[in-house]
Every structure is written in structure tokens, then in C-alpha cells.
């Protein structure tokens, strides 16, 4: 039986009858809806719902998108992503200012159903051990993104994802920026931060002490491990500084809220004269250092130099609500915004 959250008419942003592409709230709501569309595509597949019973199409058709292709996991045949194409022809002569994207590549997170559980949990494990870039879903997503970018201007392409799906989108956006110099517009909803959730601690002194200790230890280990390959003159973290994805976290979400402290602490380290330590710590995690020592990619999947951070300060009832995708198109959101730009 379908849940109300799968039904666009019952839980989607149907109030967006006149889209203003210059409005950041509209753009956020549409990106989140397309990600939800991927979740519902997979639910339709499992429930064998075909049109007109299928519940997924309104999640993109309402905003004038169509499915260009569905991304399928090789192992369990589940739908984990999709490429959406805007149906109005290019160029957008009728749009002033910000234009809609021609393509949006969206990735879902974990689906807690028996048919998905094994591969979805494996993907989460890959993220935790800093090995997500070795997964087939990342590889398929990267191949699809490359094909789309090659077919149009990079400025016409968005990336979007939720939970571990946002980690895939982050890695793809990061790779594109490093290898081509293109900065794809990217929407990351509740991306996991694979570190202890210090942000949940209420005592500010304890929180600051733990972060200071963590920064000193991480920076020291990074220096001892010599994580940058010999002969590499340009810091890859610096290369990414100009790419500014849109990052959405809830302050009540234990999975993603640590991004709040990650960026705020970097500024605090600058203010107390420990900016060099803060910069070194902010580009590494203990897991990334261990990976580097073992000869693997030394960049942790969850770390980014710059972001336009949006924090949902609204009260949530439980973890599912705090981490869920549906919060991001609510009209009564209490949002706090800040741009964090990495200074080279």
C-alpha cells in the first residue's frame, strides 16, 4: 500500500504553480522534489505500479521535466538515480535572469525495504570506510553525468541528492570540478558527515574543547602521513575552493548536522590565530589519512572547502523527519543561511 509521502498531491509542493527560477526557495523545492521522484520510482518498481497507477511521474512532470534515463544498480536492479530533462526547448528566451536547468541528475538515499536493504547498506558501509568512489552506483552516476555534460553546456546541468545519494552527487561534482574545471550547480540534502556528532552536544565549552583537540590531532596526523603526493604542487582542496554547492542540513539531524560545526569551527580557528591548523584539519579526516597511508584516495568523501549552507532550525518530531527529504519544500521552514568560502 502506498504511503501518503509517495503521493505528490498529498505531500508535494503543489503550491508552486508559478515557478520563479530566480527564487532560491523554488529552486531548492524543485531539486528536492526530483530527488523524491527517484525514491518513488523505486517504490513504483517494487510495487509493480505502472501508469496510470504509478505515483512517481507527478514529482517531475509538475515542474515540466521528463525522464531522460533511469540509473539502475547492477546488483539488485533497483533504481537509485535518474536524469531528468526539462521539456521546454532551448534557448530559454522567455526566462529573465536565472534559467531552469536542461538536465538534473538526482540520486536517492537508503530505502528501508527488504529488496533494497543489502545493496543500500553496502553503499552506506562504503561511505563510512571512505570507499564510496569504488561503488558501482558512483561509477554509473559519473558515466551518466559525463554523457550529459558532453551533450550540453555544464551550466545547464544540476546535481542533486539526499543522504548517501547526496554523497554520490558531492563526489561527482567534486570530480568534475577537479578534472574539467566546470562547477556544476549542486544541491546536497542531509549528506552524511562521517564523524562523531559533536554538534549535538549542548555544552559549548565541551564542544569547543573536543573540536580543538580533534583539529590538533587530525592536523598532526596529516603532517606525519605526508598526505599530498610528492611533486604535487597544487593542493586539490584549493582547486575545489571556487565550487560552492548548496548544502542543506537540519540542526536536529545527527547524520548531517556536524557540517554546521565543521564550517563554524574553521572560522573560530582563524579568529584565535590557529588558521593553519584549522585549514589542515578541515581537509582531512582520520579515515582519509588512514586511506592515504594505505595508498588509496586520501580525500574524505564528506569534506568540501566551500558551501552555501542552509540550516533548518525548525523543530522536528523524530530522526526520520529531521533526516527526511520532505522538509525541504515546506513553506514554514525556519532557515539560517551562510556562505562559507574557503580562503586559499
The rounded average pLDDT for each run of 10 residues, N- to C-terminus, in the chain (344 residues) is 88 94 96 98 94 95 97 93 88 68 96 76 78 90 96 94 96 93 96 79 72 64 57 70 96 92 83 67 58 57 89 88 95 93 82
Query: Count of H helices and E strands in the chain?
Result: 12, 8
CA dihedral of residues 7, 9, 13, 18 (deg, nearest 10): 140
C-alpha cell at 70: 533511469
**CA 139 from centroid of its chain's CA atoms:** 16
- Whole-number pLDDT of residue 277: 67
Which of 257, 281, 247, 248 has the alpha carbon at shortest distance from 201? Answer: 257
C-alpha cell at 37: 521522484
- Whole-number pLDDT of residue 244: 96
- Whole-number pLDDT of residue 231: 46
- Whole-number pLDDT of residue 91: 58
Alpha helices in the chain (DSSP H): 8-11, 24-47, 58-61, 114-128, 136-151, 164-180, 204-225, 236-239, 258-271, 275-282, 286-293, 319-323
pTM for the full predicted model: 0.89
Amino acid at each position: 500500500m502506498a504511503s501518503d509521502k509517495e503521493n505528490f498531491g498529498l505531500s508535494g509542493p503543489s503550491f508552486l504553480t508559478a515557478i520563479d527560477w530566480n527564487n532560491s526557495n523554488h529552486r531548492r523545492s524543485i531539486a528536492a522534489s526530483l530527488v523524491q521522484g527517484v525514491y518513488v520510482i523505486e517504490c513504483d518498481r517494487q510495487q509493480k505500479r505502472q501508469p496510470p497507477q504509478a505515483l512517481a511521474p507527478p514529482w517531475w512532470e509538475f515542474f515540466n521535466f521528463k525522464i531522460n534515463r533511469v540509473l539502475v544498480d547492477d546488483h539488485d536492479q533497483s533504481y537509485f538515480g535518474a536524469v531528468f530533462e526539462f521539456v521546454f526547448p532551448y534557448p530559454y528566451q522567455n526566462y529573465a535572469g536565472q534559467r531552469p536547468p536542461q538536465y538534473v541528475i538526482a540520486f536517492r538515499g537508503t530505502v528501508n525495504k527488504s529488496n533494497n536493504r543489502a545493496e543500500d547498506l553496502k553503499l552506506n558501509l562504503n561511505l563510512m570506510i571512505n570507499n564510496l568512489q569504488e561503488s558501482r552506483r558512483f561509477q554509473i552516476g559519473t558515466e551518466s553525468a559525463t554523457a550529459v555534460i558532453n551533450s550540453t553546456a555544464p551550466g545547464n546541468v544540476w546535481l542533486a541528492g539526499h543522504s548517501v545519494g547526496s554523497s554520490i552527487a558531492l563526489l561527482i561534482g567534486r570530480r568534475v570540478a577537479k578534472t574539467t574545471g566546470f562547477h556544476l550547480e549542486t544541491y546536497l540534502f542531509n549528506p552524511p558527515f562521517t564523524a562523531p556528532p559533536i554538534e549535538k552536544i549542548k555544552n559549548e565549552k565541551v564542544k569547543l574543547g573536543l573540536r580543538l583537540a580533534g583539529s590538533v590531532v587530525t592536523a598532526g596526523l596529516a603532517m606525519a602521513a605526508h598526505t599530498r603526493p610528492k611533486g604535487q604542487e597544487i593542493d586539490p582542496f584549493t582547486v575545489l575552493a571556487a565550487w560552492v554547492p548548496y548544502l542543506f542540513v537540519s540542526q536536529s539531524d545527527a547524520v548531517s548536522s556536524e557540517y554546521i560545526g565543521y564550517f563554524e569551527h574553521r572560522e573560530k580557528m582563524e579568529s584565535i590565530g590557529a588558521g593553519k591548523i584549522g585549514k589542515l584539519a578541515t581537509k582531512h579526516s582520520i579515515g582519509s589519512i588512514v586511506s592515504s597511508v594505505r595508498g588509496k584516495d586520501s580525500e574524505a568523501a564528506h569534506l568540501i572547502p566551500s558551501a552555501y549552507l542552509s540550516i533548518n532550525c525548525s523543530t522536528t518530531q523524530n530522526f526520520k523527519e529531521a533526516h527526511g527529504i520532505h522538509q525541504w519544500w515546506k513553506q514554514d521552514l525556519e532557515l539560517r543561511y551562510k556562505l562559507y568560502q574557503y580562503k586559499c
